[in-house]
Chain A
Amino acid sequence: MIDVLYFAWVRERIGTPRETVETQAETVQALVDELRAREPRYAAAFQDLSALRVAVDQELTDFTAPLAGAREVAFFPPMTGG
């Protein structure tokens, strides 16, 4: 079980800010592949991973990151603060 969070247009495209996902995925990439296979809205949101950023347990990382022990994964577009 892992909490998956979505922000900005990723949240809008998927249609929810967060959900709990039952998964055995060992990496972020494997989780993305599972989500893509679920429904077209996920496939659409994860179509171009170069347009996305990912954080595991609130730390920026990349799609090869392991998920062992992780509680929270977040997907979002490049940040635009300031």
Chain B
Amino acid sequence: MRVRVQDAPFDLGAEANAFVARQQGAQAGAIVTFTGIVRDIAQGLDVMEIEHYPGMTERALAAIIDQAQQRWPLADAFVLHRYGRMHPDEAIMMVATAARHRKDAFEAAEFLMDYLKSRAPFWKKEHSAQSAAWVEARDEDETALNRWSR
């Protein structure tokens, strides 16, 4: 199970431990995890709502993991992404990578993050007491992808 999309909160520690346990015997000397957390940037965020495209989301995430596995010698990779409503300081998503060496595990984790930010069908909407607004994609996110196209 390399991809999970769910509305429920997740336990980062339990997920990370389960991922580590799955690598037994795989000679994975390096495991990297990244977790994204809801930030209250403008002071006043009540709820972050994430919409997604059921079906395409799972396919897009699996395709991004396939690309990462073609580029780096990974023992394993995992992406968990939530949708629905969440509050500041809650975890939105996590990625985990396992490889023989840490450089591959770090780079693959960054690649997964860069790609899923702008190539997996999720859309964030920020709700405050006064208003609600869709988060706009940033040019930097597109630029971040370009460094991988070599």
The answer to whether A80 and B135 have CB atoms under 8 Å apart is yes
Subset of 10 A-B contacts with CB under 8 Å: A8-B134, A59-B56, A79-B119, A79-B123, A80-B134, A81-B81, A81-B118, A81-B124, A82-B116, A82-B122
How many chain A residues touch B (Cβ–Cβ < 8 Å)?
A: 17
Chain B 98-140 residues near chain A, CB threshold 8 A: 113, 116-125, 134-137
The answer to whether B53 and A7 have CB atoms under 8 Å apart is yes
The answer, yes or no, to whether B92 is at the interface (CB within 8 Å) is yes
Q: A31 to nearest B CB, angstroms?
A: 18
Which of the candidate stretches A19-27, A36-44, A70-78 sits at the interface with the other chain?
Answer: A70-78
How many chain B residues touch A (Cβ–Cβ < 8 Å)?
A: 26
The answer to whether B123 and A77 have CB atoms under 8 Å apart is yes
- Enumerate chain A interface residues (CB-CB to B < 8 A): 5, 7-9, 11, 55, 58-60, 74, 76-82
The answer to whether B124 and A80 have CB atoms under 8 Å apart is yes
Main secondary structure of the interface of B (DSSP, over half): mixed
The answer to whether residues A79 and B137 also contact, given A7-B121, A7-B123 and a CB cut-off of 8 A, is yes
Number of A-B contacts (CB under 8 A): 70
Q: How far is the CA of A67 from the CA of B52 in the complex (A)?
A: 23
The answer, yes or no, to whether B59 is at the interface (CB within 8 Å) is yes
Q: A56 to nearest B CB, angstroms?
A: 11
The answer to whether B122 and A5 have CB atoms under 8 Å apart is no
The answer to whether B51 and A7 have CB atoms under 8 Å apart is yes
Q: How far is the CA of A55 from the CA of B55 in the complex (A)?
A: 12
The answer to whether A81 and B116 have CB atoms under 8 Å apart is yes
Q: Chain A residues near B134 (CB, 8 Å)?
A: 8-9, 77, 80
Can you name the residue of chain B whose Cβ is closest to the Cβ of A58? B56
